[in-house]
Amino acid sequence: MQRIGQGYDIHRLVEGRPLRLGCVEVPSERGALGHSDGDAAAHAVCDALLGAAALGDMGAFFPSSDERWRGADSRIFLREVATRLAAAGATVVNVDVTIVIERPRLAPHLPAMRAAIAEALGSDVGRVSVKAKSADSIGALGAWQAVEAHAIALIDMR
Ligand code: MG
């Protein structure tokens, strides 16, 4: 059976934090505030995959109240989600994520993000798509106050 899942995440952007998106550190004067590394793209992918398998969400598996996840590299979350999906008899068909951030321009970093997400999931880079948009100066996203990510995932589940 093929099953679909959707994931969403948003993090506030502040000065003095690294900007990590899709498991890649992107040079930027502002980075995401978060308990872990604040990687909205990785978190949206995790939630899309967990949602497809009806396994819950990141908050249940990796609560921000748990000190283990402070500053955690989100590749850990992707690996753990992939392990839980495999245990549930699921394989990843494909994942597609869109990152919304006013700046910097992410296009040069997208191939590295695809490769890093695929590697963390134990999947093929051809099954992972990462896209980016600016917020066209609209609202909090347009004011460079936040970064947002939307993901969708398809899985095969026995
Ligand atoms: Mg998050």
C-alpha of residue 34 to centroid of ligand 1, in Å: 7
**Is residue 38 scored above 90 in pLDDT?**
yes
Average pLDDT over every residue of 18-44:
96
Buried b (16+ CB within 10 A) or exposed e, 134-154: bbeeeeebeebebbbbbbbbb
Average pLDDT over every residue of 84-105:
98
**Is residue 21 scored above 90 in pLDDT?**
yes
In the chain, % of residues over pLDDT 90:
90
Query: What pLDDT is stored for residue 71 in this prediction?
Result: 87
Average pLDDT over every residue of 1-13:
97
Domain containing 142 equals 2-157
C-alpha of residue 72 to centroid of ligand 1, in Å: 11
C-alpha of residue 45 to centroid of ligand 1, in Å: 10
d(CA 155, CA 28): 34
Query: What pLDDT is stored for residue 52 in this prediction?
Result: 98
Least Cα distance to 71 among 21, 18, 124, 27 occurs for 18
How many structural domains compose the chain?
1
C-alpha of residue 35 to centroid of ligand 1, in Å: 8
What CATH number is given to the structural domain containing 147?
Answer: 3.30.1330.50
Confidence at 64, pLDDT banded by 50, 70, 90: confident
